[in-house]
Chains A and B, each alone.
Chain A
Amino acid sequence: MLFAATLAIFITMLLAIIRGIVGPTLYDRILAVNMFGTKTVLLIALLGFVMGRPEFLDIAIVYALINFISVIGVLRYSDTHQFKHSPTLEDPVEKED
């Protein structure tokens, strides 16, 4: 049962990576990283149980924190003026497809 869950999580992470690489706008990539982060937290929790070593949960907590801080960092420094026009720059791309 645990193994099935780890497999599902692993596939979702792959999907997140694809979105991360393809993602047209800047915010798609941030979303992909955020989703990837939360999924890794789950993966580690599951691995902890699969491998029978419950100490892994400390790492899961750290993961969640670091993911939170890096997403905040990304957003905090992404609203400086260089990025102001670049999302709209990419916007026309958005509208065409």
Chain B
Amino acid sequence: MFLGDLVAAPVLQDGRRVGYVADVRLLVPPHTPGQRVGTPRVYGIVVCPRRTASFVGYERTGVREPRLLAAFFRWRARGSFLVLWPDLARVGENGVDLRLDARRWSADLDSRPQL
């Protein structure tokens, strides 16, 4: 499976479309011997109600500068939320289905990613 297939795929819950996959959040664990960076695994998906190219990133990181542009991009991606992997019912070619009781979390990357 390719991560690219998930990006911008429609997200459905109870047969109704609730948005699109704005991004796929990965968890990079501490690396094991024989590698320098841990093998990332899918932590969850960031769902945005609109099909915007919202990866400019303002809506999820602490960056708020330059002020007006950041406000615009945050407004454009308003209503985005994070759904954790266990809450996903199906990941297929034509989209992602959420479980009926899927919990919606804040999409903010609270800690600055130490990239």
B and A form one assembly:
no
